[in-house]
Amino acid sequence: MFATSVKSAIKRFRLEISGVVQGVGFRPFIYSVAKMFDLKGFVGNESKGVFIEIEGEEKTLKEFVEYLKTNAPPLSHISEIKQKNLELKNENDFQIIESESEETEFTLISPDISICKDCLEELLDKNNRRYLYPFINCTNCGPRFTITKTVPYDRPNTTMSTFTMCKACRGEYENPLDRRFHAQPISCWDCGVQAWFVGENVEKGKPIEQTQTALKLGKTVAIKGIGGFHLACDARNETAIETLRQRKGRVDKPFAVMCKDLDTAKKFVEINQAESEILTSKERPIVLLKKKNDCGLSELIAPNNQFLGVMLPYSPLHYLLFSNDLDVLVMTSGNFSNEPIVKDNDEALEKLSKLADSFLLHDREIFVQCDDSVVRILATENTEVTEGNYPQINTDKHRSIDEFEKSISESSVSSVANLLPFRRSRGYSPFPVKLPFAVPQILAVGGELKSTFCLTKENFAFMSQHIGDMENLETLQAFENSAEQMKRLFKVEPEIVVGDLHPNYLSSNWAKKTYSNFVAVQHHHAHIASVMAENGVKDEKVIGFAFDGTGYGLDGKIWGGEVFGGDYIKFERLTHLKYFPLAGGDASVKNVYRMALSVLREAEIEWTEDLACVSFCSETEQKILSKQLENNLNVVQTSSFGRLFDAIASIANIRHKATYEAQAAIEFEAILDENVSETYHFEILENEIDYRNLVREAVRDVRANVQKSTISAKFHNAVADLILQLSLQYRKSLSLNKIALSGGCFQNVALLEKSVKLLQKSDFEVLIHKLVPPNDGGLALGQAVIAFWQSK
């Protein structure tokens, strides 16, 4: 098959391959291909990737290199192959040699990946020695990032170093032709990771069966997984769900569910082809899917929400939990609100004992926690995949980053949908965003909510996993541990450290105290820079819409309805939502009726009891609030679109008190009637966007008993039309045609889809998020690139 008819000169090449090429079966792949081509030499790991020295006929060597590019292992991603000629050594064999480590070089680390088809078949094969073993894995699947302490990715540098392999595992581990060759997490019943149950009536040796029994009895079980603990209960047991909500103090915030398989998920939610592919992908994120009418699951799982977060089993342990009479579980992060997910056994037994009735533990240490990723499939015409993209969907046949970008842009998935990340974590982190320019070593510490950080080196931006809301010492400690791990993995010593301009953000204050080279950037500029960077924008100017709940402005006020013109270095605030008063700060964020009363007052609308937001507020509080607003007492001015969404939702009698972030806006979007084309109207003034006429229009509809779904649609239509009108205006005056959409408001899929459709109809090039979240979880990427460009 590979024979050549004409002999060519004998040559020796050194190949240096970078990318995700360690811990993914790359060296045994090279070994088997070299044998197949009858080439001589060796392959090994080094800090920056994999190196190969290989000799044979020149034509055969070239065929060998081409074969590597197109047939590499499914979890590998080749970013670069460097080649140089060497002197011949006339070797007579090909072998795998020991790893080499270099002080300053680095390689990419694979994220934690769902169990592969081969391991799943062995897990359920009664004749296999790993039958029903909850920690089966191979080079194509299993934990990676969460067990890695440092590089090279070899067993002594992982949390598997404490387990001594048995003879059978050692044989597989050392056999270059075996699927488990140098699979660092390799283990089995005889020598590896073990699980046990902690709770009532413990029966030794049956942890899975006891966990199933507890779940069927309506108990909550804390289950240790790959990246941390889940709190699990039977999703068909309303009492169990209600108990979990009460214990966790989680009044309304939706829970995610894990379904036994795709067919089970289809009983509860609508699933199209694109959603099916991402649900079953090796990343296995939580996917937000539209509930079916009368789906059969308790409303307590996701109250007042038309969407349900669904994931499928991604570890062998998960697969073993399910049975015919246990086919769907609530699976929520094992933590208290706003704290990072718990990862250690002792910590779980101490902290989660107030939340869980029993525990399913194991003895493989999780080095860093990594929560589940959350995504939604966005149906838009914006299907172009840019240079910044990285593998996400249906990647098994994609070999290099460049080939992946080309193949995904031609795939059936991308022709109908884009992936919109809400939380980027397990399955994706720490795979980098590829930047369109080389950057120095930078640490960006993000914001306060949905905390992540970013490390940059060369043309890579390494985004951390989701850590939590940076409001307590537990989250700060997890942040510090994760930052230290990733600095080691990618050999980064920050030349620049950057954070948010807000004077009270814990992340920025920690960075100021820890590093002398700290700089601050404006919150919404970072949002726009983030979406620019992931879309491969180099040094162009864009028109940026940064709509969110809160961000510290250059004038000391709370921004959040910002329209910018500019680039990475500087921006001009072209216009913004007209300021309105936020009385009592967080009191108005949680009690959204206060926001409603504030904008009613600004619109000169009397507080009358026929408006639900007014009647919800007691007479006493109305008097206090009125005095506050009149005398500007404990009041901050805000231009936040997030807060305006809250206010209109309360005026429309959707939600008056929020028990979790953006609840009012989420429920307002959920009731929208997609068939309504009518709109409310903003007034575009010289330097601000006046919302007062829109408020009056909404109040008229409320008093005329117009359906809430129509009010929601008219408001969303108004915001999308505003974006279009401002884009047309500034295209004319600034000669700019690229529109960047970022900030938490663009998690609102109805708004995003409407905006993109209108903009593309007018021939704008639209930049939206596909790789990092539009919320503050993507902020650190923008901070990093701004810090680089401003330092030049």
Give the residues across from 400 on adjacent strands.
78
DSSP codes of every residue in 443-505: EE---STTB--EEEEEEEEEEPPP-B-SSSHHHHHHHHHHHHHHHHHTT---SEEEEES-TT-
- What does the pLDDT read at residue 245? 95
Angle, nearest 10°, between helix axes 663-670 and 708-734?
100
Structure tokens, 318: 């998960």
- Divide the 792 residues of the chain into consecutive groups of 10 and give the mean pLDDT of each group: 62 91 85 93 86 94 92 86 92 86 74 96 98 96 94 90 98 92 95 95 85 96 98 97 95 96 96 95 96 91 95 98 94 89 96 97 97 88 36 32 34 50 96 95 96 96 95 92 94 96 95 95 98 96 97 96 97 97 88 97 97 97 95 94 98 96 95 96 96 98 98 98 98 97 97 97 97 97 98 88
* 3-state SS class at 570: coil
Distance, CA of 165 to CA of 47 (rounded, Å) = 25
Which of 553, 438, 568 has its CA nearest to residue 495? 438
Q: Under 8 Å CB-to-CB from 3, ≥6 apart: which residues? A: none
Which of 338, 335, 367 has its CA nearest to residue 473? 338
Return the exposure string of 694-715: e unless at least 16 CB atoms fall within 10 Å of the residue's CB, then b. bbbbbbebbeeeeebbbbbbbb
Q: Is the dihedral of CA 701, 702, 704, 709 positive or negative?
A: positive
In the sheet where 10-20 sits, what is the strand order? 77-86, 10-20, 49-57, 40-46, 94-96
Angle, nearest 10°, between helix axes 26-36 and 58-71?
140
- What does the pLDDT read at residue 213? 95
Enter the DSSP assignment of 762.
T
Look at the block and give the residue holding tokens 């706003």.
338
DSSP codes of every residue in 250-312: -SSPPPEEEESSHHHHTTTB---HHHHHHHTSTT--EEEEEBPTT-SS-TTSSTT-SEEEEE-
Q: Is the dihedral of CA 506, 511, 514, 519 positive or negative?
A: negative
Structure tokens, 703: 């008093």
Asked whether 783 and 772 are in contact (CB, 8 A), the reply is: no
Which of 377, 262, 256 has its CA nearest to residue 305? 256
- What does the pLDDT read at residue 399? 33
- What does the pLDDT read at residue 410? 32
Q: Do you find a cis peptide bond into 430, omega within 30 degrees of 0? A: yes
Structure tokens, 225: 């997984």
Look at the block and give the residue holding tokens 């002197």.
87
Distance, CA of 557 to CA of 159 (rounded, Å) = 47
Structure tokens, 150: 């440092």
End-to-end CA distance of the chain: 54
Distances (CA, A) of 620 to 616, 626, 627: 12, 10, 11
Asked whether 435 and 388 are in contact (CB, 8 A), the reply is: yes
* 3-state SS class at 754: helix
Structure tokens, 762: 């007018």
Give the residues across from 419 on adjacent strands.
377
Return the exposure string of 293-322: e unless at least 16 CB atoms fall within 10 Å of the residue's CB, then b. eeeebbebbbbebebbbbbbbbbbbbbbbb
Q: Under 8 Å CB-to-CB from 556, ≥6 apart: which residues? A: none
Angle (nearest 5°) at CA 681 between 580 and 768: 80
What's the per-residue H, E or C state across 369-423?
A: CCCCCEEEEECCCCCCCCCCCCCCCCCCCCCEHHHHHHHHHCCHHHHHCEEEEEE
